[in-house]
């Protein structure tokens, strides 16, 4: 895909990755890690705002949706390369 081809042209400090589950579990640490990896500057400048926002959303739970089997199969097929590249398993 174009994404996989183009990301190879980027320097390590131009693209960062975070698993959704890791971001939900510990948003402050994940954002701090990305600040460091992407060389975005002094995290302490924004850390209090990020901590406040994370605290305000601490009880948030995402909605759960059941997808029709046909749609789930299409998603699994079309996104298989991304699931594999980013460590997600196909949902049966």
pLDDT by residue for the chain (92 residues), tens only, comes to: 899 999 999 999 999 999 999 999 999 999 999 999 999 999 999 999 999 999 999 888 888 889 999 999 999 999 999 999 999 987 77
Query: Do 13 and 39 meet the contact criterion of CB atoms below 8 Å apart?
Result: yes
Predicted TM-score (pTM) of this structure: 0.81
Closest residue by Cα to residue 35 from 19, 18, 52: 18
Residues whose CB is less than 8 angstroms from the CB of residue 77 and which lie 6 or more positions away in sequence, other chains included:
none
What radius of gyration do the chain's Cα atoms show? 17
**Pair (48, 86) in one structural domain:** no
Q: Are residues 51 and 7 in the same domain?
A: yes
* Counted domains in the chain: 2
42 and 75 in a single domain? The answer is: no
Specify whether 14 is located in the same domain as 50: yes
Locate 41 and state its tokens: 């500057």
């Amino acid at each position: 895909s174009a994404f996989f081809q183009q990301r190879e042209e980027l320097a390590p400090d131009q693209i960062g990755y975070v698993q959704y589950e890791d971001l939900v579990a510990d948003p402050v640490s994940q954002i701090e890690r990305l600040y460091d990896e992407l060389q975005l500057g002094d995290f302490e400048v924004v850390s209090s705002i990020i901590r406040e926002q994370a605290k305000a959303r601490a009880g948030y739970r995402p909605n759960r949706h059941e997808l029709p089997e046909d749609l789930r199969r299409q998603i699994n097929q079309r996104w298989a390369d991304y699931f594999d590249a980013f460590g997600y398993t196909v949902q049966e």
